[in-house]
Structure 1
Amino acid sequence: MVKLCVGADDVGDLEAWQKRLMKRHPAPVHHTRMVPKQMGQLLDGGSIYWVIKGVIQVRQAFTDIREIEDRGGRRACELVFDPELIAVDPTPKRPFQGWRYLKPAEAPADLQADKAAQDIPPDLHAKLKEAMVW
Structure 2
Amino acid sequence: MPLNLVKLCVGVSEIEELESWVNDCRAGRDTLDHVTRMFPKRKDEILPGGSLYWVIRGMILCRQPIAALEPVTGADGIERCRIAFKPQIIPVRPVPKRAFQGWRYLESADSPPDLPKSAKVEGMPEKLRRELAELGLL
TM-score strictly above 0.5: yes
Secondary structure, in 3 states, of the residue corresponding to 1:83?
coil
Aligned residue identity for 1:57: L
Please state how far the C-alpha of 1:77 moved relative to its aligned partner: 1.0
Q: Deviations for 1:40-90, whole angstroms, at most 9, x for unmatched residues?
A: 111121000001111111101110111001011111110001100011111
Aligned to 1:45: 49
Counterpart pick for 2:24 among 20, 25, 29:
20
Aligned to 2:131: 124
Q: C-alpha separation between the residues in 2 aligned to 1:79 and 1:47?
A: 10
Contact 2:7 2:53 in 1 (8 A): yes
Aligned to 2:10: 6
Aligned to 1:32: 36
Structure-2 change in CA distance of 1:97 and 1:12 (3 Å)? same
Counterpart pick for 1:108 among 109, 112, 115:
112
Please state how far the C-alpha of 1:116 moved relative to its aligned partner: 4.7
**Which runs of no fewer than 5 residues in structure 2 stay unpaired?**
none
Runs of 4+ in 1 over 6 A off after TM superposition: none
Contact 1:19 1:28 in 2 (8 A): no
Equivalences, count: 130
TM-score after normalising by structure 1:
0.88
Aligned-residue Cα RMSD (Å) equals: 1.8
Secondary structure, in 3 states, of the residue corresponding to 1:60?
strand
Q: Deviations for 1:84-126, whole angstroms, at most 9, x for unmatched residues?
A: 0011111111111111111110100011111256647332133
**Which runs of no fewer than 5 residues in structure 1 stay unpaired?**
none
Aligned residue identity for 2:42: Q
Q: C-alpha separation between the residues in 1 aligned to 2:74 and 2:28?
A: 17
Please state how far the C-alpha of 1:24 moved relative to its aligned partner: 4.4
Contact 1:29 1:81 in 2 (8 A): yes
Contact 2:92 2:112 in 1 (8 A): yes
Q: C-alpha separation between the residues in 2 aligned to 1:26 and 1:40?
A: 24
1:73 is aligned to 2:80: no
Q: C-alpha separation between the residues in 2 aligned to 1:20 and 1:71?
A: 24
Aligned to 1:88: 92
Identity among equivalent pairs (%): 38
